[in-house]
Amino acid sequence: MLLGCLRRISYAACGAVVAALVVSLVESRGVHALEDGAQLGAQSVTVRAIFGLLVPVALAVAAGVSAAALFLCPSRPFGLSAVFAKLRGATVFERTRTAALMPLMIVGLFVWLVAVANIARRVLGVGTAHGVGLELAVASLACFVVLAGLVLGLLLPVRRVLAHVSEHTALAVDPVVTAAAALTICAVAFAIGVNAGDTSGNGASPVGVFGVFKRAELDLRPMWALLSIAAASYVAPALLWNHGRGFGRVLATATIALLPLLETRSLATRLNADELLARAIERGARLGKTGLVVLRKATDRDKDGFSPLYGGGDCNDADKDINPGALDIPGNGLDEDCSGTDLPAPQKPLAPKVGLGAKIESDLNVLFITIDTLRTDVGFMGYPKPVTPNLDKLAEKSVVFDRMYAMASYTSKSLPPLLIGKYPSETQRDGGHFNVYAPSNVFVQERLQQAGIHTLGVVSHWYFTPKFGWAQGTDTFDVSAIPPGPAGDKDNATTSAQVTDATVKLLSNGEHSGRRFFMWAHYVDPHAEYVKHEGAPDLKRSGPGGEVKALYDGEVWFVDKQVGRLIDFVASQPWGKNTAIVVTSDHGEAFAEHGMSWHGVDLWESLVRVPMLMYVPGMRPHRVPLKRGQIDVVPTLLDLMRVPQPPPGELSGESLLPDLFAKSEADIVEKDVYLDMPPGPYTQMRRVLIRGKTPGKKLIHLGGRQYQLFDLENDPAELRDLSRNKAELEPMVEAFGQKRAGLREIFVAPSKPAE
């Protein structure tokens, strides 16, 4: 008996390991298809590495499958054909009962899944985490009980129907046939739901919730790879059972299954030395990445979330306060973040610069417009399609910043810090995905409010409601443009017209009569998912992803139309001649660049370069061709409104007034640009330094000693990583360290959202 169990387990392990090798071959192609895949060397090396990472996963899957198989069929393994034969070989009574029960159970489970998914969409995001969890658990259990009762209640009627039909065809009481028919019905319903629902799970029917599977960032390949390994570990014992017995066969198969663990062991140090391969596996090997995560977690002795092996980067696994994600205290002689050196001691913060004698002579109002997920694909930045005629018209009389960089590539890490005037890592926030910002942060609205300026805001998404802390210092914060209904993902809603209507209403009600105002209006529509708009011009694009990009362009066109209405309204008012207009975005979007069609994860150019223009009445229209960062927006707004700058160190940027008043391009000086995206529960930390003559060289920090380096002049698409060239890398790393030393970083551990 024991020998039989060992045979089945060893055969299952062999099958799982062979399947893992096949998965490794497939995933290695994806790794080498990356833009820096050519730098990895021979593909066989990548296959071996991924295989070594998958072997422990495969063996764990084989153990689980074997345990289940031994429990269900303790005597000998059964393949599918044997299972089918057993079902079909039962008595007529048993066959009719099973033939009725199996489709009822399959359909019942599918209906339960649909019901629970729809309930989850309605309750998630409403109330506290514990309350929502309890509500969802109770609702799921109630649905299960009701459907189980319904299945049992229908069992006898369905058996009678099948018995009656069996008089004409025996297939009616074949459990395999009835189960296959039920699975087919559920698969068709699932496919209809995916096709009919949108990526937020909205649809005309309950199965529309499966539309979420169309999301580009939802990659199901790891699941299919894992299922393939599980299937191989189930089938292998049945296939090999009659091909030899005895302890020798067990020992041989066990050796074959366990021998690849030597490759797993050797990877522990090899990936430390080959950081490029480790990064490529993280990006391109979907299931291999899971194996990498598992091995790093298993070898993390101090439980700080980082391993000293498998490229984890932990330089002291005996101290949980020292790891690649730790906050390095400048000048204390310790390398807390495993970057290789301690950050230099910080210098005394410099006083804010205005320069060139620049000064605003009159009291201005400011209309601050932010447009979510707006790339540089706009007319005044050279985009050929007619997506922004109104902004293009405004740009003709404005100062346009040709190379403006957002703070990060995710709204909660970019827009609040932009309004605070500090880098994201310098702000007080929680560790959730949807960050809540603490009252201790000082937003630009608060600084203006204290100066007697009337502050207003209009938003159209639940993410911007006051509980997240972004409305601090706003006298009137209008959320009327948020679509009604339960909280949830409403990215499919169209709200730009409502934002303009609410903004016009606020500026028309006379509250600010005789008072200067700062009005912030945020438009969300260019954020995925995209909807068509009547009257939009022909924005079709050829090639892969062209249809999606055309929909995005249509959203931008629609927002521009609504922003145009707002600009026209301002121009028609008596106070319009004293109102500056600033337009920018919180981040960009990816459309297949670097294999991505989403944002919020990395800091590639398509994700962080954004349009920005500043219209100041009476100011000479011109362009600023040199690189700039949104960290400078708050001090600029203060200067535009003639509000004194705070003491040195309270803001991390400096005013762009010298750029606004520049008489020629010679008066515009080069600056470094620093970007910073702290880690979240679903994202990793990313930092960037762009240095040198515009467009400059771009250093991307991935934590610890992991860097990427790109020459944006000769490689604007960021395809050739130069980080292996130490002569190029080291000066950039030194400058990066000097920049970080001057910041006041606050480490916030990633966590679930605050209740």
For residue 301, what pLDDT band results from cuts at 50, 70 and 90?
Answer: very high
Instruction: Tell how many helices (H) and how many strands (E) occur in the chain.
Output: 20, 13
Cβ 203 vs Cβ 209: under 8 Å: yes
Look at 100-104, 402-406, 469-473, 533-537 and tell me which has the smallest mean pLDDT: 533-537
Mean pLDDT over 374-385 rounds to 95
374 and 493: one domain? yes
- CA 221 vs CA 27, 224, 285, 286, 288: distances in Å: 10, 5, 10, 7, 11
- For the chain, give the longest Cα–Cα distance: 98
What average pLDDT does range 3-25 have in this prediction? 86
Residue 626 lies in a domain: yes
Indicate if 289 and 385 belong to the same structural domain.
no
In this prediction, residues 293-322 reach a mean pLDDT of 91
At 355 the pLDDT is 45
* C-beta of residue 201 within 8 angstroms of C-beta of residue 212: yes
**Would you place residue 78 in the very low, low, confident or very high pLDDT band (cuts 50, 70, 90)?**
low
Read off the pLDDT of each residue in 105-134 and give the average, rounded to a whole number: 77
Q: Name which residue leads in pLDDT, 498 or 168.
A: 498
Higher pLDDT, 500 or 494: 500
> Pick from 636, 668, 700: which residue ends a domain?
668
pTM given for the model: 0.81
- The residue-averaged pLDDT of 642-648 equals 93
474 and 584 share one domain: yes
What was the pLDDT predicted at 241?
63
Give the per-residue pLDDT at 493. 77
pLDDT greater than 90 at residue 350: no
- DSSP class of residue 178? H
Task: Assess whether pLDDT exceeds 70 at residue 616.
Answer: yes
Q: Which domain holds residue 72?
A: 1-77+197-302
pLDDT at residue 79 above 70?
A: no
Tell me the C-alpha distance between 718 and 700, whole Å: 11
For 192-206, 591-605, 699-713, which range has the lowest pLDDT when averaged over its residues?
Answer: 192-206
The pLDDT tens digits of the residues spanning 505-550 come to 999 976 666 789 999 999 999 998 888 888 888 787 766 567 888 8
Residue 48 placed within a domain:
yes
Q: Given 652, 668, 684, which residue is the final one in a domain?
A: 668
Predicted confidence at residue 107, as pLDDT, reads 92
Domain end, chosen from 647, 668, 689, is at 668
Number of structural domains the chain divides into: 2
452 and 573 fall within a common domain: yes
Please give the average per-residue pLDDT across 215-238, as a whole number. Answer: 83
CA distances from 468 to 154, 457, 481 (A): 49, 14, 17
Read off the pLDDT band of 474 (50, 70, 90): very high
User: What is the rounded CA–CA span in Å between residue 500 and residue 459?
Assistant: 10
Query: Looking at the predicted structure, is the pLDDT value of residue 119 above 70?
Result: yes
Lowest mean pLDDT among 195-204, 428-437, 656-665: 195-204
In a domain, 736, yes or no: no
Give the CATH number for residue 634.
3.40.720.10
β-bridge mates for residue 429, sequence order:
437
Q: Are residues 280 and 412 in the same domain?
A: no
List Cβ neighbours of 512 (8 Å cut-off, separation of 6 or more): 365, 454, 456
Q: What is the mean pLDDT of the chain?
A: 87
Helix H, strand E, coil C: the string for 317-338 is CCCCCCCCCCCCCCCCCCCCCC
Query: Helices 286-298 and 43-72: crossing angle, nearest 10°?
Result: 80
Residues 6+ apart with CB under 8 A from 93: none
Q: Could you tell me which of 589, 597, 602 has the C-alpha nearest to residue 687?
A: 602
pLDDT above 70: percentage of residues in the chain: 89
Q: What is the pLDDT of residue 134?
A: 79
| pLDDT score at 753 | 46
- Label residue 94 by pLDDT band (50, 70, 90): confident
- So what's the pLDDT on residue 513? 65
Residues 504 and 651 placed together within one structural domain of the fold: yes
The answer to whether residue 17 sits within a structural domain is yes
Predicted confidence at residue 754, as pLDDT, reads 41
Whether 664 is covered by a domain: the verdict is yes
* Model pLDDT for residues 725-738, shown as the tens digit of each residue: 999 999 999 999 99
Residue 754 has φ and ψ, to the nearest 5°, of -65, 145
In this predicted structure, what is the pLDDT of residue 77? 64
Q: Is residue 153 part of a domain?
A: no
- Of 13-22, 49-58, 67-76, which gets the smallest average pLDDT? 67-76
In a domain, 660, yes or no: yes
* Segment 372-381 mean pLDDT: 96
Residue 593 has pLDDT above 80, yes or no: yes
60 and 205 co-located in one domain: yes
**41 within some domain:** yes
